[in-house]
Chains A and B, each alone.
Chain A
Amino acid sequence: MKKCKCTCGCKVKKLIFKVLGIALVANAALFAVFFFDLDGKLLFNVVEPFLKKHYDDMDRKDTLKTPYSMDKFPKYDYNS
């Protein structure tokens, strides 16, 4: 069999086709995610419940214990 002499051009072509192919597949995959609302389904069924659990389980400060100093702040009156 005769070997192709223009190795460089072929490689570029192949690369282009490869990139185009990947882009096409990625495009189709993204379109499927978009069209079938897979992003919404993932967020609703997996991400949000996970995060909710995390937030529900979080240790939180008891804000009612925050000090309430009566004299900590001055009167902001710049006209007197």
Chain B
Amino acid sequence: MKDLKHLIYFENLLQEANNDLVKQAKADGKRAVGYTCYFMPEVLLDLPGCFSVRLRAPRCTSPDIATYYMSGRVCHYARSLLERALEGGFNFLDAEMATETCTATCRFQEHLQQKHLDSVDDMRIIDNDDFFCEFSDVPFKNNEIAYEHYAEQLRAHVLKPLNEHFGIDVSDEAILKAVEQQNEVSRLINEIGDYRKLDNPTITGYEFHVIQLVSLACPKYLILHYLRETAEEMKTREPDQKKDFRCKVVLAGSENDDPDFTKLIESCGARVVCDRYCYGAVESRQIIDIKEGEDPVYAIAKHYLTTSNCPRFMPQDEMRARKKRIAELAKEYHADGVIIASNKFCEYWSYERVIDTVILNRDFGLPVCSIEKEYINSASGQLRTRFQAFVESVEIKQIQEGK
């Protein structure tokens, strides 16, 4: 396939958290607001006057100082973020909108927080006088009480501080404007992503992963133009005559902001056609629908709690339904199998992976490759062997089924 016009530019944007577009937005006088988890509605951090940056620590392979603070027995992602912060890589942030949605990233964000307590010294990791870090409580359930509670949390711990610290307009009109912008990004990403449903997709999983990540890591008003052009370009993009993959897979699992991981899978012959993981598009790029007369904050809270498939959710029906959703995604994207990848030390996905591995195969007939990985995958040799073996097993299954 012909190279995408902006792919190299996008790749470059992903080399640093404080990338060119972030710098440009800061130069425009906008406030940079960091976050780590899907549950923190990025749309509220993209209100006029500020922009969201989903934090990443690309190329961080040796988080030594963070390991002193968090020990070596905590998720590599959280430690890498702390290391990057300690190196000064997040000094551009004006605020961090934190969630206690997993223990490791919670602790990372607590390190950023200026606590002003007698009991423990402030570390002033983010060297920015304006910086503050505020936590919101994200419910473990998606019922009516939870929607109301989360809406209240967002008002008290996101909108109010943004307004008080930076004078951000948090009116309903401003929120609706941000929703409109977010929905446009989502529509474009979905439009691009839908090409993965073709029999011979005209976009690779790697390319899509890069595009999705820039939409999370860059100011939306600056990246939109590039996304529009890419969506336009995709309309006429021709696939290679001969398929350069041997099977199609859904990639599900824990935090993954490393496009090279997707590239590694694809180099083994599996085309990643769906990204059901933290930082993926399946959830984050669903259209936010606010009905006429509906309170936009409530609608946003509800949207984020109903669209998430995170294994953090505890209601019984939800625990079970999310397995079925992966199977449905495999069907929708015509995938031949599922790769479930959990980050080492990620407790949610360690368990979820065990259950998915059994249930998706047993009850839905889907071949499953179950792996554990690091945040930055230096041990790619071992993973490559696993993926190659999986692709072969899928092919054998297809031959046996006469496909």
Contact = CB atoms under 8 A, between A and B. Distances in A.
User: Do A and B associate with each other?
Assistant: yes
Interface of A: 64, 68-77, 79-80
Given A73-B316, A77-B144, A79-B145, A64 B358 contact: yes
Contacts of B355: 68
Contacts of B318: 75
Contact of A68 (B143, B144, B317, B363): B363
B144 A75 contact: no
Nearest to B354: A64
A76 B316 contact: yes
A79 B148 CA distance: 11
A73 B319 CA distance: 11
Interface stretch (B109-117, B273-281, B320-328, B336-344): B320-328
B74 interface: no
Interface in B310-361: 315-318, 320-321, 323-324, 355, 358-359
Contacts of A72: 320
A68 B316 contact: no
Interface of A is mostly: loop
Interface of B is mostly: helix
A69 to B, nearest CB: 7
Nearest to A66: B358
A69 B319 CA distance: 11
A79 B144 contact: yes
A75 B323 contact: no
B317 A80 contact: no
B143 A75 contact: yes
29 contacts: A68-B320, A68-B323, A68-B355, A68-B359, A68-B363, A69-B320, A70-B320, A70-B321, A70-B324, A71-B317, A71-B320, A72-B320, A73-B316, A73-B317, A73-B320, A74-B317, A75-B143, A75-B315, A75-B317, A75-B318, A76-B315, A76-B316, A77-B143, A77-B144, A77-B145, A79-B144, A79-B145, A80-B143, A80-B144
B306 to A, nearest CB: 12
A76 B319 CA distance: 13
A67 B258 CA distance: 36
A79 B143 contact: yes
Contacts of B363: 68
Nearest to A75: B317
A74 to B, nearest CB: 7
A75 to B, nearest CB: 5
B299 to A, nearest CB: 16
Contacts of B315: 75-76
A75 B142 CA distance: 10
A79 B141 CA distance: 13
